[in-house]
Copies of this chain bind each other. A is one copy, B any other.
């Protein structure tokens, strides 16, 4: 379909882009056609995957093609090719979710997406009250001054106490840097690490972090993760500046890093003069009797950078997170970011700090945790009733999502499309793997932050009905 001339003056990307575009315009590529996958086309043409990726992305932006559920691209205009901006779930502390844009899909009544919440979760009345108070006559001049790059002192003091009580984190407020999301914290770290542009991360792991590290020119060392934990042996020989991990609730498997592996990780960091970036992304949601202590609380050698967020406890649209820097990084931090200002509005921080100081935040977190504990329990119970031992649930006891493991050989792409037809959206695990193609095809990702208990039960029952032929 596409012909490449490597000696031509036009770049490879443009050749691909222009030929497909003209094919669509002239009708020689019919509407609804499924284009070859990026990997396939790059192999066929003998060009880099990025080249094909770039051409497809440009065509998608211009509306010629649209991403197809699962994988690949369809030529726009075909009957089954509605243009969807967001096809993958929105994990951890970021998201491609296009709140201003996203066309509401009327037929999806049960969306097991991850990370978004019903608006009733947000404490609007308290927020309104504290906003009004913060803007009263006694407002300090901070309202119209550039802010401390680490964030409001009062909020950092609240956080210091909160993190110590809830997660055993030991730090002073001088080590805390308030940010506008995980991406902000990792941006700062990537710049702090400077020349050593190689980082380890879990595979599978949070794809947003992977994208960010790549954007900073970092190469990735993959740490194989599964339901039983994390393979750490390869770390010793890897020359990396840091390991980005989710030890308390591995994303997406949901496993907890054992105390033995925690110690191993801390020892490695000390011996190799590297850091551990501990992303405690859903720390508020522990349904087990004994909460897992943070890795930071075990660290005696200034090796752990602890990161947490208000995205799961208050709202992902609030854009407030926090990072605890080891003391040994503070001098470099102050030197390199001397002209930086906090990325978070002073008013937002002031309201949040008042909300915490009043005790309302702690009560809100307890309320949210018990609400989601019920949803978690209902999910587990309904799955057992509907699927018995045909489906294994990974990630129990914490968080806001599950991995569903089906018998090997199950065609999960077909499961997803059958669910979609019945108004239930479940998600592919592909984005979480370093190479999408490595993602096992017998896993499905389901979040339950957006649905209530009734909807969770109904959704799972529908899945049982439409999946009956596939998994029996």
Contact = CB atoms under 8 A, between A and B. Distances in A.
Given A116-B144, A211-B339, A339-B96, A345 B331 contact: no
Contacts of A149: 96
A319 interface: yes
Interface string A131-170: 1100100011111111111011110100000000000000
A334 to B, nearest CB: 6
A448 to B, nearest CB: 14
A343 B319 contact: yes
A181 to B, nearest CB: 6
A317 B146 contact: yes
Which of A117, A211, A317, A336 lies at the interface centre, i.e. has the most chain B CB atoms within 10 A of its CB? A317
26 contacts: A54-B332, A95-B339, A97-B145, A99-B346, A100-B148, A100-B152, A100-B154, A101-B148, A115-B146, A116-B141, A116-B145, A116-B146, A122-B144, A131-B132, A131-B135, A180-B343, A181-B343, A194-B217, A211-B340, A212-B339, A217-B217, A315-B346, A318-B347, A319-B346, A343-B343, A348-B348
A354 interface: no
Interface string A94-124: 1111111100000000000001111101101
Interface string A206-217: 011001100111
A94 B341 contact: yes
A4 to B, nearest CB: 19
B215 A337 contact: yes
Given A187-B187, A336-B211, A330 B61 contact: yes
Interface in A293-350: 311, 315-320, 330-332, 334-348
Nearest to A114: B146
- Chain A interface size, as a band, is 35 or more
Contacts of A135: 124, 127-128, 131
Nearest to A142: B99
A413 interface: no
A315 B144 contact: yes
| Leading 7 A-B pairs by shortest Cβ distance | A95-B146, A100-B153, A208-B339, A317-B346, A58-B331, A97-B146, A180-B343
Contacts of A139: 119, 124
Assembly of this chain: how many copies?
A: 2
Given A94-B340, A97-B148, 4 more contacts: A57-B331, A97-B145, A116-B146, A320-B345
A53 interface: yes
A144 B119 contact: yes
A90 interface: yes
Contact of A119 (B143, B146, B184, B194): B143
A53 B191 CA distance: 17
Contacts of A215: 191, 336-337
Nearest to A174: B61
A239 B156 CA distance: 44
A94 B319 contact: no
Given A61-B330, A61-B331, A216-B191, A341 B143 contact: no
A461 interface: no
Contacts of A132: 128, 131-132
A299 B434 CA distance: 40
Contact of A317 (B127, B144, B208): B144
Given A90-B146, A124-B135, A146-B317, A119 B141 contact: yes
A352 to B, nearest CB: 10
A256 to B, nearest CB: 25
Contacts of A334: 57, 60-61
Contact of A315 (B116, B131, B143, B340): B143
B341 A97 contact: yes
A364 interface: no
Contacts of A148: 97-101
A183 interface: yes
Contacts of A342: 319
B345 A319 contact: yes
Given A215-B191, A344-B180, A345-B318, A145 B57 contact: no
B96 A145 contact: no
Given A121-B144, A318-B345, A332-B54, A338 B154 contact: no
